[in-house]
């Protein structure tokens, strides 16, 4: 079936094989065949920000699942723009990885395009990819935001702000949309529920966004942050401004990354099964390598609200 090795077999055998294949409508899966013969045992994993504590549990899940088949992940950080990402991914490809698990991709990602052009199996983790050309493992961001907003509304909050994540990332984009929908579903007024965009998923960016929110003078009693680092930045800004969390302002995070139970106040946050997310992503990669599946799938995990100490009824209620 392979034109490159056809000369090794006598011409009449080649002809009979091709004829039989044609009758059975059999077409060889080139990528799978190549992988079966040239398997390197290493899966590249590309992160957007190694300092974000959300990734270690995902990486651990990936590692444990790959280990069951004797494969190992090799991790690279690709911060600082698309050029850098492309460079890092090219280095991965040059090291002959069997496939790539990307936690980096933006909503319409040229880098992803590049990987697909290289013919490399790709799975995207904690991001969704809109074209549907690759398999993704995500958490249900819309559901997550409705859990957060409903919790606050049940406590009596009516003026709830959202510190949004970067809009070019699916998590930032979807959580923002989820917030708007949930706010409307709860019958809240848009002008009472300001949205402030943050520039990055970092504590500093959350601090800056919360400062900007507080300076707007909209008297919110609660903040839903698009992730835990942004929520920690809100903690910092509230302390600076002399506001108490949760007495003056309740804060909800997102991800339930490690140590969120030990911060002060212990953070109410949307728990995402991060370790499982890694396990699933690695599982999809193994399926792809073994050509057990064709086409792409979206695995959507169910988030869960963990109520701790950073939310309470508003003081006025």
Distance CA 311, CA 221 (A): 10
- Is residue 174 near a copy of itself by the rule CB under 8 A? no
- Is residue 86 near a copy of itself by the rule CB under 8 A? no
Cβ atoms of residues 259 and 94 within 8 Å: no
* Span interacting with a copy of itself, options 1-9, 94-102, 206-214, 290-298, rule CB under 8 A: 94-102
Distance CA 187, CA 169 (A): 28
Q: Which of 14, 31, 32, 53 binds a copy of itself (CB under 8 A)?
A: 53
Other C-beta atoms closer than 10 Å to the C-beta of 166 total 17
Q: Between 74 and 199, whose beta carbon lies closer to a copy of itself?
A: 74
Cα 65–Cα 67–Cα 71 angle in degrees, nearest 5: 110
DSSP state for residue 227 in the 8-state scheme: S
Q: Which of 1, 13, 20, 74 binds a copy of itself (CB under 8 A)?
A: 74
Q: Dihedral (C-alpha) 265, 269, 274, 276: value to the nearest 10 degrees?
A: 120
* Span interacting with a copy of itself, options 86-94, 149-157, 208-216, 298-306, rule CB under 8 A: 86-94
CB of 175 to a copy of itself, least distance (A): 22
- Is residue 232 near a copy of itself by the rule CB under 8 A? yes
CB of 107 to a copy of itself, least distance (A): 25
Distance CA 97, CA 254 (A): 32
- Is residue 160 near a copy of itself by the rule CB under 8 A? no
Q: Between 128 and 311, whose beta carbon lies closer to a copy of itself?
A: 311
Q: Dihedral (C-alpha) 140, 53, 148, 231: value to the nearest 10 degrees?
A: -140
Q: Dihedral (C-alpha) 177, 80, 123, 285: value to the nearest 10 degrees?
A: -140
- Is residue 259 near a copy of itself by the rule CB under 8 A? yes
CB of 120 to a copy of itself, least distance (A): 15
* Span interacting with a copy of itself, options 26-34, 72-80, 160-168, 287-295, rule CB under 8 A: 72-80
Cβ atoms of residues 88 and 46 within 8 Å: yes
Residues that bind a copy of itself (CB under 8 A): 40-42, 50-51, 53, 56-57, 59-60, 63, 72-77, 87-88, 91-92, 94-96, 232, 235, 258-259, 262-266
């Amino acid at each position: 079936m392979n034109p490159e090795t056809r000369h090794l077999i006598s011409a009449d055998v080649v002809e009979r094989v091709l004829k039989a294949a044609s009758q059975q409508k059999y077409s060889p899966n080139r990528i799978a065949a190549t992988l079966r013969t040239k398997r390197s045992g290493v899966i590249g994993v590309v992160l957007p920000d190694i300092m974000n504590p959300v990734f270690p549990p995902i990486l651990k899940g990936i590692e444990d699942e790959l280990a069951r088949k004797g494969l190992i992940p090799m991790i690279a950080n690709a911060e600082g723009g698309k050029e850098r990402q492309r460079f890092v991914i090219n280095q991965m490809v040059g090291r002959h990885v069997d496939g790539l698990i990307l936690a980096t991709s933006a909503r319409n990602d040229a880098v992803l395009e590049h990987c697909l052009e290289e013919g490399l199996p790709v799975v995207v983790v904690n991001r969704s990819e809109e074209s549907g050309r690759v398999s993704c493992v995500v958490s249900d961001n819309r559901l997550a935001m409705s859990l957060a907003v409903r919790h606050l509304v049940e406590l009596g909050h009516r003026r709830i702000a959202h510190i949004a994540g970067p809009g070019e990332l699916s998590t930032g984009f979807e959580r923002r949309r989820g917030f708007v929908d949930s706010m409307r579903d709860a019958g809240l007024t848009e002008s009472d529920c300001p949205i402030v965009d943050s520039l990055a998923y970092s504590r500093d960016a959350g601090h800056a966004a919360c400062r900007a929110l507080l300076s707007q003078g909209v008297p919110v009693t609660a903040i839903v942050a698009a992730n835990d680092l942004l929520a920690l930045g809100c903690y910092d800004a509230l302390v600076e401004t002399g506001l108490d969390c949760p007495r003056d302002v309740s804060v909800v995070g997102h991800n339930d990354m490690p140590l969120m139970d030990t911060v002060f106040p212990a953070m109410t946050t949307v728990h995402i099964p991060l370790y499982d997310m890694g396990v699933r992503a690695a599982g999809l990669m193994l399926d792809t390598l073994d050509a057990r599946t064709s086409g792409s799938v979206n695995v959507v995990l169910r988030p869960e609200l963990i109520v701790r100490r950073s939310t309470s009824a508003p003081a006025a209620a």
